Amino acid sequence: MNNNPAARPTVGRIDRIAWRTATVDDGAVSYGAVGRGRPVVFVHGWGFTSRAYRPAIERLAESGVRVYAPTLPGFAGTTDLPRGHRSLAGYASWLGRFLDAAGIDEPVTLVGHSFGGGVAIQAAHDLPDRVRTLVLVNSIGGGTWSSDGDAVGDIAERPLWDWGMAGLAEAFSSRPHPAAIVGLARDAAANAVSNLCALWQSAHLARTADLRRELRALADRDLPVVVLWGRGDVVIPQASLRTLRDALRNPLTLTVDGNHGWLVVDPGAFGVAMGAALAAAAARQQAAA
């Protein structure tokens, strides 16, 4: 696993993110857009929306890309998926329709954090013509966990109390960027009162996600994939990271200081890491051309 990505110069400061509304499946979708360049779609984690990631998204845009950051169905006001479609495949299909609604007609770089990483994996698998590069940030999907650092079991067997303890440890150890605090608080409140059922169902998807089959298919397809990881993460087990990387056949992996939500805590580090990830993916694509 690689060490911290080296600092690199960025394109000049991009304008602040603009919040817009699109219509997908006759429902309103809030999304952010910022930057200039090739399209990058950022998929947020569980329990929040893209607004909580605003500083990180703006730093990502400094890499010379145009970032689109939708709020997933069922989160903070976006219309929920219909019954029978509340799955990672359902979210992935919805993401494809969002690309159409936002007028994005070329393949995108898809960046997913945590639960959003699972959606991104599924979308890259199911929509091969829409995704040119995949970046996974402390993503679900590895499918395993270990209670003692040795014996490895299926992630679905991880007890709820263990998830809860990891979440508490994350909350007490994190100091979000000041500009993200308002978004985090707003999202937490909105999600708690708007659609608890959707929140619970998506939590179940997150804590049981095993996407090793899809990851192996992406490796077979030779899709450029970069893994970014906060090495202090206790929410996503190290065993899950190992099996995720194994399924992808050891993709480029950049580790940073921080825990599960490191990109919210240190947007600058996220901007630097994403600059390195995008440059590495571009170099690989040029070499393959």
Q: What is the pLDDT of residues 17-46, one digit of tens each?
A: 999 999 999 999 999 999 999 999 999 998
The boundaries of the domain holding residue 246 are 18-288
* 250 part of a folded domain: yes
* 4 part of a folded domain: no
CATH number, domain of 30, equals 3.40.50.1820
**Strand ordering across the sheet containing 225-230:** 18-24, 27-35, 65-70, 38-43, 108-113, 131-137, 225-230, 252-256
Per-residue pLDDT tens digits for 145-158: 887 666 688 878 77
* 126 part of a folded domain: yes
Alpha carbon 3 to chain centroid distance? 21
Least confident of 5-14, 60-69, 159-168: 5-14
Residue 77: what pLDDT? 67
What confidence category does residue 7 fall into, taking pLDDT thresholds of 50, 70 and 90?
Answer: very low
- Asked if residue 76 lies in contact with residue 190, where contact means CB atoms within 8 angstroms, the answer is yes
What confidence category does residue 6 fall into, taking pLDDT thresholds of 50, 70 and 90?
Answer: very low
CB contact set of 177 (below 8 Å; sequence gap of 6+): 55, 56, 264, 265, 266, 267
* 243 part of a folded domain: yes
Residue 202: what pLDDT? 76
* 6 part of a folded domain: no
Residue 204 has pLDDT above 50, yes or no: yes
* 247 part of a folded domain: yes
* 49 part of a folded domain: yes
Residue 175: what pLDDT? 57
Residue 231 has pLDDT above 60, yes or no: yes
Find tokens 């992406």 and name the residue.
218
Per-residue pLDDT tens digits for 51-97: 889 999 999 999 999 999 999 998 876 778 888 888 999 999 999 99
Calpha distance 140→284 (Å, rounded)? 25
Least confident of 184-188, 206-210, 234-238, 245-249: 184-188
Q: How many residues does the chain have?
A: 289
* 3 part of a folded domain: no
Structurally, how many domains does the chain consist of? Answer: 1
